[in-house]
Amino acid sequence: MADPQRILVVSVFHPELVRGGAQQAAYELFLGLREAGLKASFLASCEPGVAPALFKPGAVVTGFDGRPDEYLLLSDSFEYDWYRNLNPRAIAWFAEFLKDLRPEVVHFHHFMTMGLDLFLMARRILPEARLVLTLHEFMGICKAGGQMVRLSDGTLCQRASPVRCHQCFPDVSPEMFQLRQDWIRHAFSALDGFIAPTRFVRQRYLEWGLPPEALHVVSNPQQDYSRQDFRVPFAQPARIGPANRFAFFGQLLDNKGLSVLFDALELYAAQHEEPISLDINGTNLHYATEGFRTRFERFLEQAHRLEPRVRVRLQGAYAMADLPARMARTDWVIVPSTWWEIFGLVVSEAFMFRKPPIVSNIGGIGERVRHDQDGLLFEVGDPASLARTLHRCVSDAGLHARLAAASPGVPPVAEIVAAHRRIYAGDAAPDSTASPFLHLHPAAAERS
């Protein structure tokens, strides 16, 4: 088809209401499409618990903050077991919104909080449009929050099946899991294409049964905030001394691996003399389990025990405009996730500021970081492995400078937008000048 000009990007939440990688990537793409001169619109879901004051009597789709082409889908009836939207008015409003907008492409960046029903409605209202889904997690495969972590013992799950899923949810029969899978596949059949941010994600969904010819790999878009003209509160002095400042950036949730990091700091303080510091940048602790919240709060209360070898500081929430100042106060970025991270936007942020990432050797983040070239990998879930890595960072002279110099940065958003436009047009041939983090699968090259 001809290069589509009218694009609707559908996101779970707006990144200015709820921080998260999926919504940030969706919004960055929306801005990039507009910068490319396309008629792009952005529709983000919003639940009552996020911003109750934004819910208006009778309205389901509303404008957002007076911004042109930005809208909210007010969702109050999402059913998490079957990913259904139980409010028929919401689906009807979405249908009318599509009729008014008439996009040539609807690019979904999630279905959580919105419902798989929207895929089917979009296909019904727009039979000629291209419908695309970016796979930001494994919710299509896994009922356990799309994490593919076994609820019985916390081990990583390699594949899903009705029986294996029943083991995580003993009250749900294998037959019901088969029906659930059939429903998800039916909804996915309304889509023309799928985008995986890493090869790892593509392979996992290929094994689940998505057609290879429809499944592409394209990096999540991300502006290079190291080149933005943000005002840093004060001039940062030149770094003197060892590169011993570590930082965590992200959501304060169980699967982000902070428990592993806390244990690693305990081991480090008991075994090594070189002083280090850790800044914790993030929020959304209220979304974590009660057990993790207790562990997090207790560790911070007792962190003074680790001084002077380990100093821990909670820096709290941050906006993208805060990144230059916060990155200026660190040398290394730790990503200790304990689930199959899809992409890890924080890895992009580390690369753009030339702060070598230290990441679990798992999933998309393990794919993106080249061990001992532009970052370091450690054994997922292993505090001892992480403690040894932290010590290497402060005792191996020249390591930080070497890894920082090799940082690949982030590909220009315009490059990512161009890759999406090829998929929108049904012509996903890869660009021979694509950056190392802009990949389209080999089948696309064979078709071109």
- Report yes or no: 98 and 125 within 8 Å, Cβ to Cβ: yes
Which pLDDT score, from 0 to 100, does residue 229 have? 62
**14 and 107 share a domain?**
yes
- Give the CATH number, domain containing residue 290: 3.40.50.2000
Asked if residue 142 is part of any domain, the answer here is no
The burial of 56, by beta-carbon neighbours within 10 Å (0-12 exposed, 13-18 middle, 19 or more buried), is given as exposed
Find how far residue 58's CA is from the centre of its chain: 32
Residue in the structure block whose two tokens are 């990091």: 261
Find how far residue 48's CA is from the centre of its chain: 22
Q: In angstroms, rounded to a whole number, what is the distance separating the alpha carbons of residues 421 and 216?
A: 12
Q: In angstroms, rounded to a whole number, what is the distance separating the alpha carbons of residues 434 and 217?
A: 12
Which pLDDT score, from 0 to 100, does residue 241 have? 74
**30 and 90 share a domain?**
yes
Residue in the structure block whose two tokens are 């679990």: 360
Q: In angstroms, rounded to a whole number, what is the distance separating the alpha carbons of residues 331 and 353?
A: 10
Tell me the residue range of the domain where 443 lies.
Answer: 6-136+192-222+413-447
- Report yes or no: 51 and 17 within 8 Å, Cβ to Cβ: yes
Asked if residue 315 is part of any domain, the answer here is yes
Other beta carbons within 10 angstroms of residue 189's beta carbon come to 11
Which pLDDT score, from 0 to 100, does residue 330 have? 96
Other beta carbons within 10 angstroms of residue 65's beta carbon come to 10
> What pLDDT, in 10s, does the model give residues 136-145?
999 999 999 9
Asked if residue 203 is part of any domain, the answer here is yes
**230 and 210 share a domain?**
no
> What pLDDT, in 10s, does the model give residues 209-261?
999 999 999 999 999 988 766 555 555 555 667 899 999 999 999 999 999 99
Instruction: Give the bridge partners for 281, in sequence order.
Output: 249, 316
**212 and 350 share a domain?**
no
Per-residue pLDDT of the chain (448 residues; tens, 9 = 90+): 788 899 999 999 999 998 888 999 999 999 999 999 999 999 999 999 999 999 988 889 999 999 999 999 999 999 999 999 999 999 999 999 999 999 999 999 999 999 999 999 999 999 999 999 999 999 999 999 999 999 988 899 999 999 999 999 999 999 999 999 999 999 999 999 999 999 999 999 999 999 999 999 999 999 998 876 655 555 555 566 789 999 999 999 999 999 999 999 999 999 999 999 999 999 889 989 999 999 999 999 999 999 999 999 999 998 888 999 999 999 999 999 999 999 999 999 999 999 999 999 999 999 999 999 999 999 999 999 999 999 999 999 999 999 999 999 999 999 999 999 999 998 764 333 333 344 333 333 332 2
Asked if residue 164 is part of any domain, the answer here is no
Name which of 409, 415, 265 is nearest 257 in CA terms.
265
**Pairing label, strands 376-378, 193-196:** unpaired
Which pLDDT score, from 0 to 100, does residue 435 have? 37
Which pLDDT score, from 0 to 100, does residue 429 have? 45
Asked if residue 345 is part of any domain, the answer here is yes
Name which of 316, 302, 396, 321 is nearest 356 in CA terms.
396
Tally the C-alpha atoms within 13 A of residue 27's C-alpha that lie toward its C-beta. Answer: 20
Ordered strands of the 376-378 beta sheet: 310-316, 276-283, 245-251, 332-335, 357-360, 376-378
**387 and 282 share a domain?**
yes
Asked if residue 111 is part of any domain, the answer here is yes
φ and ψ of 362, to 5 deg: -150, 145
**27 and 111 share a domain?**
yes
Which pLDDT score, from 0 to 100, does residue 101 have? 97
Which pLDDT score, from 0 to 100, does residue 436 have? 38
**20 and 80 share a domain?**
yes
**247 and 343 share a domain?**
yes
**211 and 291 share a domain?**
no
